Amino acid sequence: MKEREHPLSALATRLSGRTELTSADLSAILDLPYQERRVAVGDYLVQEGERSGNCQVMLTGFAHRHRFSAEGLRHIVGIHGEGDILNLPALPPARAEDFVQALSMVTVAAIPTESLLALCRSHPGIANALWAEVDANLSVVRAWIANMGRRDARGRIAHLFCELSMRDHRTGGQDGCEIVLPLTQAELADATGMTTVHVNRTLRALEAEGFIDRDRRRIIVPNWRRLAELADFRMAPWTARTGVVVKG
Amino acid sequence: MKEREHPLSALATRLSGRTELTSADLSAILDLPYQERRVAVGDYLVQEGERSGNCQVMLTGFAHRHRFSAEGLRHIVGIHGEGDILNLPALPPARAEDFVQALSMVTVAAIPTESLLALCRSHPGIANALWAEVDANLSVVRAWIANMGRRDARGRIAHLFCELSMRDHRTGGQDGCEIVLPLTQAELADATGMTTVHVNRTLRALEAEGFIDRDRRRIIVPNWRRLAELADFRMAPWTARTGVVVKG
DNA sequence: CGCATGATTGAACCAGCTCAACCTTAGTGG
DNA sequence: CCACTAAGGTTGAGCTGGTTCAATCATGCG
């Protein structure tokens, strides 16, 4: 019978997937002070302009990070899932530059920035893991740029699907894996710089060409390699995440 | 008569623009071990796949960061200039995910990653500044995503011009400021996800509409606010950079 | 049942692309 | 000091991927 996991094990697992951590490191992470929060669909985890003395870590659920253009158009600049760190431990806290909004029911842990920084000072291995995590994040964000810039509609959607798929440690990257889309077609549009109309047509095209099977928000990838090739997807920043699962 | 600056003052200036640093912090930065390197136009500062135990910091010149799609198309995912940190202090070093290539004659300092990490441990103020710097970088990269996704050709080029302009501490963000483009039109195209043909037409359109004046690679912005509005440009991650200039 | 949100479809339109020249400028070598 | 060359910039004409606008069709939910 599996014991109930410590909430912060999501963070411990993520970090230990980046760098080998000692058991002392791991328990130090689980000993961090934190406050758990449940957030309903549509509510905000981060609001533009706010300053927070906490680092928020996603424990469960999905969220999207977005900005608004001057004309009021929303653009989604990232998707967040379990284990993601929503804001870096900057002191004094900088103003958030974007919104992070829950796509599903979400739980997050708020860890005092000062505690996290102190932990990095006392446990160099954790600092290394954190830097590696940020490095991987940067790479993912840059992949989004390349995705928007030099890929057509099918490729963009496919790339996003690959990324979403990799967030599931169990099945991600395998043939037949299933993605339960946390995004509506309108949100897919805002994440890929397209219109809802064209997203819809592209989804049907991907289905017609056998890249995916669809049943409402449920996407199945019969041939992962084929989709990844269409998407020109790079596994590197994602593979490292299959760390040891840490229990509380 | 101005004394010759310490090469690492580029880094010290950048960091002190993020967070108030003590004079002890500043001199600790200047005391870091480093190796200076000159890089000719077209040569690489970073190559995809390589692992480096050093953190490279741009001292002078411009470089662009790019990736190649499977079809061999280049996409530029960022521009680097004086003070930029090219790779995060991750240990063990991760494989670089992209290329960084000199656009002009460039000088960089290679600082052993371990030394930088040790500095962060011994000087918490420097760690704070480094996190703030990385945070600002992330925001800039996300701005690129939003730029590609929800902006038309004029806006994209204008946004890139605003960013380039802000890299010049002296005149950036002022009416009449001058940008000496480090990029060819082909590079502008790869950075904005357009074709050279359309970049060319867009430049002429921007000129015809009075947003810019042009003389070869020399761009002059008569009315900065007007250009920034067209670009929907956000100053936040850039303004903080006007730190105290640190001499050696 | 009625309503709201999300998905789907059709038809006209256009921003930006493709292809294919041609022009300009700064080097380079003689 | 000039002819030659290569890289970068400019231009035209036709084409297309994706948009716009405007409906219509699900489907969950109170």
The band of B211, judged by pLDDT with boundaries at 50, 70 and 90, is: very high
CB pair distance less than 8 Å for A139 and B73: no
- How much of chain A, in percent, has pLDDT values that exceed 70? 95
pTM for the structure as a whole: 0.93
Distance B216 CA to C23 C1' (A): 14
Beta bridge mates, A64: A79, A101
Residue B212: is its pLDDT beyond 70? yes
Cα–Cα nearest to B94, from A83, A130, A146, A9: A130
- Find where tokens 């490292």 sit: A240
Can you tell me which residue has its alpha carbon closest to the C1' of nucleotide C5? A184
Nearest CB neighbour to B149, from listed A131, A135, A193:
A193
Instruction: Determine how many CB atoms are found less than 10 A away from the CB of residue A33.
Output: 11
CB pairs under 8 A between A and B: 143
Q: Model confidence over A155-213: pLDDT tens digits?
A: 999 999 999 999 987 887 889 999 999 999 999 999 999 999 999 999 999 999 999 99
E strands, chain A, are 35-39, 44-46, 54-60, 63-68, 74-80, 99-102, 106-112, 177-180, 213-215, 218-221
Distance from CA of A243 to the nearest CA of B (A): 16
Residues of chain A with pLDDT under 70: 1-4, 240-248
Residue-by-residue DSSP string for A63-117: EEEEEE-TTS-EEEEEEE-TT-BSS---SSPPPP-SEEEESS-EEEEEEEHHHHH
Both tokens assigned to B92? 């063990």
Return the SS3 of B151: coil
Residue B93: is its pLDDT beyond 70? yes
pLDDT given for residue A168 in this prediction: 82
